[in-house]
Structure 1
Amino acid sequence: MIAYIRGKVAEITDQAVLVEANGIGYELICPNPFRFQAKLGQVEKIYTYHHVREDAQILYGFEKVDEKTLFSKILNVSGIGPKGALAVLASTTVQDFVMAIEQENEKFLTGFPGVGKKTARQMILDLKGKLPFDYTLEEWPATDVQADTNDIALEEAMEALKALGYSDKEVNQIKPKLKQEKQQEADGYIRKGLALMMK
């Protein structure tokens, strides 16, 4: 098992980060490759999950070891594969996901791409009380309704920007900055997004 790769971030694509280590280029499929944009050309340690199946061997890359751990745990949920697990990690933090599982928050879980009520219930059944993280209730907000609203508004804004003609790559590049804005309405994210695109 390849636990991590330390090498130069050589290239970033819509789905992956290419890392060069000892003359070998490794393609690491990431939840959000553009998180490594500021590290392009730098030597970085990226945690990896080596997924082996009959027709392929794929390396998945993560900025933090907690993300890698959660990815492997989500893969154990019946009906969820690597693509679904990546979608979860691209859309939320480890802490917020753990909170949703422990509080059986189906509304939060069904906000992920491809996750319906049945899959959300399966996640809770398979993962509640079994995730190896030390977050305490005191660290969690009393409610995540605000977070839900922010996430929905952000996704609506992403789709609106694409409809205006911007590519997936362009939109994904500004997503981390937009997420920091914590707007409740899509219009707010769209205005900020257009301003960032003009820079």
Structure 2
Amino acid sequence: MIDFIRGTVVHWETEYIVVDVRDIGYRVFTPNPYFFQRSDEPVTMYTHHHVREDAIHLFGFATREEQKLFRKLLDVSGIGPRVALGVLAGGRPETIVAAIQQEDLNFLTKLPGIGKKTAQRMVLDLKDKLGATVETSLRAAAEVSGAGEGPSAWSEAREGLAALGYTQAELDRAWQGLKDSVTAEESVDSLMKRALQWLFKG
């Protein structure tokens, strides 16, 4: 099992990139090939080595959270590697996890390759198994922002959410939806969770 690779990106297509690892080019299928910009700097990709009778494929991800969610998705009946990759291309890991936990079939069925029955199976099979994935993402973002508690919690939560990839416009809308219910005692972690729920619904 190949858990990760480290090398330079030398080529990319719409579905995969080629990573040069000590003069060997690995074709790695990834949710967003253009995330890995071509440069002389090495990149680390967390991978899933998938073997079947007629093919051997390597799937790669920018974070451990994506890798873990991809593997969880493969446990769902009807979801293979290509569909799981499409799911991750359709949303951030924490957003997908929140949709599964909240049983939001409307969101899930908008993901590539996911119909209503598959969405129902995702909820049934994964709802109680994904808490650690989104919590890890939130903690990592909080650490980046130097999160604490107190009246300035939103500015710190905002930085953490920005680290997860949300735009300033999205965060402004989230604040408009949350500001009337925020208290001086609310923690950054609590604000981030509520903002994620608001962004997901909005």
1:41 to partner: Cα distance: 3.2
Shift of 1:29: 0.5
Q: 1:20 aligns to what? A: 20
Aligned match of 2:44: 45
- Give every structure 1 segment of 4 or more consecutive aligned residues whose post-TM-superposition deviation is greater than 6 Å: none
Using the size of structure 2 for normalisation, the TM-score is 0.68
For residues 69-88 of structure 1, the aligned pairs below 5 Å read 69-88=68-87
What is the identity, as a one-letter code, of the residue corresponding to 1:50?
H
Segments of 5+ residues of structure 2 without an aligned counterpart are 139-188
Whether 2:144 is the aligned partner of 1:145: answer no
What is the CA RMSD across the aligned residues, in angstroms? 1.6
1:46-125 matched pairs, under 5 angstroms: 46-125=45-124
Q: Does 1:133 align with 2:133?
A: yes
* Residue deviations 1:143-186 (CA, integer Å, cap 9, x gap): 3232xxxxxxxxxxxxxxxxxxxxxxxxxxxxxxxxxxxxxxxx
| Structure 1: runs of 5+ lacking an equivalent | 147-199
Retained in 2: the 8 A contact 1:5–1:21?
yes
Give the residue type in structure 2 aligned to 1:2: I
The answer (yes or no) to whether the contact 1:7–1:43 under 8 Å persists in 2 is yes
Superposed displacement of residue 113, structure 1: 1.7
Structure 1 CA distance for aligned equivalents of residues 109 and 100 of structure 2: 12
Counterparts of 1:29 and 1:40, CA distance in 2: 18
Cα deviation, residue 134, structure 1: 5.1
Query: For residues 134 and 73 of structure 2, what CA distance do their matches in structure 1 show?
Result: 17
Aligned to 1:33: 33
Asked if the contact 1:6/1:21 (under 8 Å) is kept, the reply is yes
SS of match in other structure, 2:133: coil
**Identity score, percent:** 45
User: How much has 1:19 moved relative to structure 2?
Assistant: 0.5
What is the alpha-carbon distance in structure 1 between the residues aligned to residue 73 and residue 32 of structure 2? 17
Alpha-carbon displacement from aligned partner over 1:16-74 (angstroms, at most 9, x marks no partner): 1111111111000011101112x433211111100010111100011111101100100
Deviation at 1:12, TM superposition (A): 1.2
Specify whether residues 6 and 102 from structure 1 end up closer, same or farther in structure 2 by C-alpha distance, changes over 3 A only: same
Bigger Cα displacement from structure 2, 126-135 vs 58-67: 126-135
Contact 1:19 1:28 in 2 (8 A): yes
Q: Please report the TM-score for the alignment, with normalisation by the length of structure 1.
A: 0.69
Rg larger in 1 or in 2? 2
Could you tell me how far 1:117 is from its partner in structure 2?
1.2
Instruction: Give the length in aligned residue pairs.
Output: 145
Say if 2:98 and 2:197, in contact at 8 Å, map to a contact too: no
Q: CA deviation at 1:142?
A: 3.7
Whole-angstrom distance in 2 between the partners of 1:97 and 1:70: 9
Give the deviation of 1:14 after TM superposition. Answer: 1.1
C-alpha distance 113-23 of structure 1, shift in aligned 2 (>3 A): same
> Is 1:11–1:40's contact at 8 Å kept on the other side of the alignment?
no
Give 1:178's aligned residue.
Answer: none
Aligned to 1:156: none
